[in-house]
Structure 1
Amino acid sequence: MLFLAPKNPTPQLLAFLTALQASLPALIGLIALKLLLPSLLSWWALLPAFLIFLGTGYYASHRALRKFIYNKVKLIYKSIHSLKAPKSSKPLNIDMRNHIIDRVEKEVTEWAKDWTQEIRYLKKMEQYRREFIDNVSHELKTPIFNMQGYLYTLADGGLEDEMIRDKYLQRAIDNVERIAEIVQELNQISKFESSAVELEMQPFDIQELAQEVVESMEISAEKKQIDLRFKDTAKKPYIVQADREMIRQVLVNLVSNSIKYGRPKGHTLIGFYDLDQNVLIEISDTGKGIAQEHLPRLFERFYRVDKGRSRHEGGTGLGLSIVKHIVEAHQQTINVRSRLGVGSTFGFTLAKYKG
């Protein structure tokens, strides 16, 4: 009779089918006894006898299933439940009357799915960790080896030559400053990721701050023959609520990048747009642009679109990552759109001052 059971039978159905299977031979035996000895049993007595066999078999089977199978399943179910549920969850209460097999199957399926996703995430993080360590090692290795060469040259007699001494000492200093900059920016990112940075929120005019940044970079822009100017929408005050020095760092990084990677005789445009609750700040350049496959990873630490050119232009490869952390610390968003041969536009939002 058990072959008639559905895919996931309840314990009650299993006990009934088991009892029925055990009772049928007894019923057949009683019928045979009635036929051989008609006077011993009446036909009406067969039904109560069969029901007694069936009931006794059901009770015994049910107890056996509960003790042997159910306890095993309950142990598995509780183990999975303890892995999935938070510590504050209520104690697990499993009622035998419920469809325990279906529930366990559902829990196991969900648990396996969650762990599969967790394993994928951990593998992704492991790959990210390896890439990060490789990048840090590479970024530090170059200035360290450079300093090593300069100092060895000076130690081998270069100190006697005034021109070599001054040149190599300056180069060693430049490389020390590069290492210090990398360490400082990594420390800043670490603080953002651990929520250890406290923002000094204040109202200020973002247009005025952008004007200060542009004025501080005019010499760099002139060397590259890049015209820094504001769009018509950016010629009036826009009062925002943010950390002024942090936002200065964002603007310096984005405007500096537009100069570094812009085309000679090109331009950088800064625009502001009123978005009701927020202000959108956009910095656009007329550089060579960025391929679409690079855009999703552009704000990762040490990620470089053109590694050779990026290192030649200077920088640590951490600027855009810091920019993203600063903007997100303000509960705002940053995005980039770009077209090869046309240029790139970085945009981020800040909350308007409501005072």
Structure 2
Amino acid sequence: MLGSSRGISLILSVVIALMVAAFLSLMDDATLTLILVASGLAFSASYLLITITLEFLVFREIGNIYSLLEKIQKKNLSEYQEKGSNASVSPLRKINKVINNYAIAQQKEIDTLQKNAEYRREFVADISHELKTPIFATQGYIHTLLDGAIDDKQVRMKFLKRAAKNLDSLDKLVKDLLTLNQIETGDIHFNFGEFNLKNLANEVIDQLEHKASKKGVELTFKYDEQANHLTYGDEDKIYRVIQNLLFNAINYNNKKKGAMVEVELKSGKSSIQVSVKDNGRGIPAEDLKRIFERFYRVEKSRSKEKGGTGLGLAIVKHVLEGHKSKISVSSTVGTGSIFSFSLPLVKEDKAPENEISREVNPN
């Protein structure tokens, strides 16, 4: 009773009524009736005003704060909605709002930390697996040779070639990891300049043409002879972007007959679009959002046996972000995939629109 708004109101109202009666009793012309009426009115008015004040401005807000604290303990902040008008004069409403905003911010931070911890665990597991495979394979070949197989020339050359191949894969993996880490941390800078995108794409195609031929993949290059293909960016890193996209398209095209990979350039008013299209197995919709993560591979169609490090698309994504561009992908299972991105078009005797600074930090 004493802890409720009505109990407190009753006590305070009685005190006020007694004070009014005491004050009136000091007056010579105050009658008993006047004292009783004045005390009664003072009691009624005080009780009503104090009850309303305590109930709506204090106790209700304290109750909301307790309710919010319970939500915080149960992590049900998403279900909490602040009741009443935001224009309330109660200072407790402001405290309630501050606690609510702080709790939501802290919960978001906790969620982010949990996601980062999960990502770190996955990354450690992935990198351990990726490093373990070539290391254990190389160890097996070398120990076999040390155990006596080195005397057999044919076996010796065969195992040394396999060990060298695994070490090359390990070297490529480490280089990709270093490149990706440098881009993400800003330790690597972009050296921008003008270059011909058609000539660059031709270089990549020439490099991978033999690989495509060995896998039975027809490699084509489509562009407009009359169009302008001069762009602005880091030539070496764009070379690697096209190389990674083309490598994936060739490597993961599992068609036995009619396998095709097409590189296409389309010049617009202010940009050049680069597309790499294949008619392979395609990527399931549930995997499209994750293919740019480190070490993520689509099962079967992008298995480890294909020889990639699982970092190519992650590097592509970060390099293009450093060029203020982004990679887009569309894919249909059983039909194939299209990866595309755009770079600024450099018009004749003009700087590129939306020019990027010569040294850009991707973060």
TM-score normalized with structure 2 length: 0.74
| Counterpart code for 1:239 | L
Q: Distance in 2 between matches of 1:228 and 1:30?
A: 101
Partner of residue 114 from structure 2, selected from 120, 123, 127: 123
1:331 is aligned to 324
2:99 is aligned to 108
1:23 aligns with 2:13: yes
Following superposition, the deviation at residue 276 of structure 1 comes to 3.5
Q: Distance in 1 between matches of 2:225 and 2:94?
A: 61
The residue correspondences of 1:290-309 to structure 2 (distance < 5 A) are 290-306=283-299
Q: Distance in 2 between matches of 1:285 and 1:168?
A: 35
RMSD: 3.8
The answer as to whether partners of 1:234 and 1:272 remain within 8 angstroms in 2 is no
1:152 aligns with 2:147: no
SS of the residue corresponding to residue 247 of structure 1 reads helix
1:266 is aligned to 259
Task: Name the count of aligned residue pairs.
Answer: 308
Partner of residue 193 from structure 1, selected from 181, 184, 200: 184
CA separation of 1:234 and 1:220: change in aligned 2, threshold 3 A: farther
2:163 is aligned to 172
Following superposition, the deviation at residue 330 of structure 1 comes to 0.9
| Counterpart code for 1:136 | I
Q: Distance in 2 between matches of 1:26 and 1:195?
A: 71
| Counterpart code for 1:303 | Y
Partner of residue 208 from structure 2, selected from 207, 217, 222: 217
Relative to its length, the structure with more helix (as a share) is: 1
Q: Distance in 1 between matches of 2:262 and 2:301?
A: 26
The answer as to whether partners of 2:20 and 2:38 remain within 8 angstroms in 1 is no
CA separation of 1:162 and 1:145: change in aligned 2, threshold 3 A: same
The answer as to whether partners of 1:234 and 1:270 remain within 8 angstroms in 2 is no
The answer as to whether partners of 1:260 and 1:313 remain within 8 angstroms in 2 is yes
The residue correspondences of 1:233-272 to structure 2 (distance < 5 A) are 233=224, 236-262=227-253, 263=255, 264-272=257-265
Q: Distance in 1 between matches of 2:20 and 2:193?
A: 95
Following superposition, the deviation at residue 300 of structure 1 comes to 0.6
| Counterpart code for 1:349 | S
SS of the residue corresponding to residue 203 of structure 1 reads strand
Following superposition, the deviation at residue 351 of structure 1 comes to 2.0
CA deviations on 1:249-299 (whole Å, 9 max, x unpaired) are 011111111111222422212222334433221110111111111100001
For structure 1, the residue ranges without an aligned partner over 5 or more in a row are: 6-13, 63-69, 74-96
1:65 is aligned to none
CA separation of 1:169 and 1:278: change in aligned 2, threshold 3 A: same
Q: Distance in 2 between matches of 1:109 and 1:328?
A: 36
Following superposition, the deviation at residue 237 of structure 1 comes to 3.1
1:163 aligns with 2:151: no
For structure 2, the residue ranges without an aligned partner over 5 or more in a row are: 55-61, 66-87, 352-363
Q: Distance in 1 between matches of 2:311 and 2:225?
A: 28
TM-score normalized with structure 1 length: 0.75
The answer as to whether partners of 2:16 and 2:42 remain within 8 angstroms in 1 is no
